Structure 1
Amino acid sequence: TYGIDTDYEGDKAESEIGACHVYRADPGTGEIDAVITDMVRPNGLAFSLDESKLYVVDTGRTHGAQNPAHMRVFNVDKGGKKVSGEKVFADCAAGLFDGFRLDDQGRIWTSAADGIHCYDPDGTLIGRIKVPEVVANCVFGGNKLNCLYIAGTTSLYMVRLMVNGAKTF
């Protein structure tokens, strides 16, 4: 099980470790390891359909203009315990990436300041859905998972697509 540790949610005490990381919890032993320690503000993660890649958004720009606003991709070993070979998957030119989902073809649909951006698994931007407010998250729904629900600043939008969301349950 993978998760993130952020310092920008609600009221908080001072961080004892002084950084935000991506962690892996071993379900067998309960041991928790920091597997990605060089991101400024990890925020949102998902695995590729075959679970060989881990995508993680870094919203570091919320803590300084010099910090990143991008999504990185990591290779995941066969046992799912270690990540390596990280690279920038996509830079966000419109605000920040935040929540994102994969469709059943492995494409990534991610939120941004101007709407939803869709990327091929190789990182090529293939399209945008413009929304008149900042978008925080999205999720596939409907009987065929072909409806993309988009959470804007004050509104909820739904767009029917010619693709289906990845079944993650």
Structure 2
Amino acid sequence: MNTTRRRLLGAGAAMAGGSLLASAAGAQSFPFRPNQRYPDPAVQILDPSFARYRIYSSTLEQVATGMRWAEGPAYFPEGGYLLCSDIPNNRIMKYDEKDGSFTVFREPANFANGNVRDRQGRLITCEHSVTRRLTRTERDGRITVLADSFEGKRLNAPNDVVVRSDDTIWFTDPLFGINGEWEGSRARPEQPTTNVYRIAADGTLRAVITDIVNPNGLAFSPDESKLYVVEWRGTPNRSIWSFDVAPDGSVGNKTKLIDAADQGALDGFKVDRDGNLWCGWGSNGALEPEPSMDGGRQVFGLRGKPEDLDGVMVFNPQGKPIGFIRLPERCANLAFGGPKNNRLYMTSSHSLYALHVEAHGAV
């Protein structure tokens, strides 16, 4: 793909640009039609407390498409752009707010998954297959390896990452990137557990959580006194656990904050300044126990319709669902961005969506 290709501005031209990118990527492009009425029915108020975060005259936008599995959004305010991973295509994409272009930032990208901007404006990336490491892109473009092993054994598949105000780096290390060939290459895990790690300011790597089955997304509360971590399986539903963070960086008081129940799937998430959790949401792929007839065949259908589950579920700090943003594709992760830090970017299967809200990212 020509990395200088521009995604044209305007509704009709945007669709054409998206189609070109999709064709180059080998991925399907979904026709998206923005809502013409205010308020946008895609933004659903589940509790009156969420009404304050909805902008009455803001509607959902599809700003880019053509990826195979979009993940890991990270916003860079100094440049006015967002980076996100297109994992199966082994690249990191760049969406520029100024001109609406959507171009390749890095290819190959070692099957990058989670990304974050550190406090110095540098990109930190979870390379979750083949290299299986956490890296930092320096200002001159050099790549610094922050972690690739623990206690003499290779990491599993670094997935998501967050930077605390003390410059410590926290990341999850499940098995997804080495479980198959779709998002990298199948490999044997060397770590006996799937951990959450902390990299101290001096570079020391420490496993702070070792009893979560395939930890996924993670984030801190606004005051950083709590760490939230998604557990992919083991409870048996996907859950978010809350941990108290001690001054020395250790964690304790493990408490289940959110249970996704038997249909929904938690993935990446972010926390706003009020402590609400904005969570990527969709079907977990669980099947009905009995088949039904479809076109003369017995078919095991999904428990819950993806079209009803795909989007962003918003929970208050107590774990109560208060809002839902319905999307035409499953949302894997999200990030706050824009000049005022109130534009919600959502990486969703093949596309990148955006919505202005009356909430601001906590960091």
Interval containing the TM-score (normalised by the shorter chain): 0.7 to 0.9
Alignment of 1:1-169 (within 5 A): 1-9=169-177, 10-28=184-202, 30-60=203-233, 67-79=236-248, 81-93=249-261, 94-113=263-282, 114-166=310-362, 168=363
Q: 1:14 to 1:67 in 2, by over 3 A?
A: farther
Check conservation: 1:40, 1:67, Cα contact below 8 A.
Answer: no
How many angstroms does 1:12 deviate by? 4.2
Distance, in Å, in 2 between the alignment partners of 1:110 and 1:150 is 10
How many angstroms does 1:68 deviate by? 3.4
More strand by share: 1
4+ aligned runs moved over 4 Å, structure 1: none
Instruction: Note the alpha carbon deviations across 1:89-132, whole angstroms, 9 max, x for none.
Output: 10113432111111121111010102101111111111111112
Normalising to structure 2: TM-score of the pair? 0.42
For 1:135, what is the secondary structure of its paired residue? coil
Instruction: Note the alpha carbon deviations across 1:6-59, whole angstroms, 9 max, x for none.
Output: 21112143112232111122223x332221111111011111111100000111
Count of paired positions: 161
Q: Identity of paired residues, percent?
A: 40
Check conservation: 1:92, 1:112, Cα contact below 8 A.
Answer: no
Distance, in Å, in 1 between the alignment partners of 2:334 and 2:198 is 24
Which one-letter code corresponds to 1:44 in the other structure? G
In structure 2, list runs of 5 or more residues that go unmatched.
1-168, 178-183, 283-309
In structure 1, list runs of 5 or more residues that go unmatched.
none
More helix by share: 2
Normalising to structure 1: TM-score of the pair? 0.87
Q: 1:46 to 1:132 in 2, by over 3 A?
A: same
Higher relative contact order (CA 8 A, sep 6+): 2
Which one-letter code corresponds to 1:154 in the other structure? H
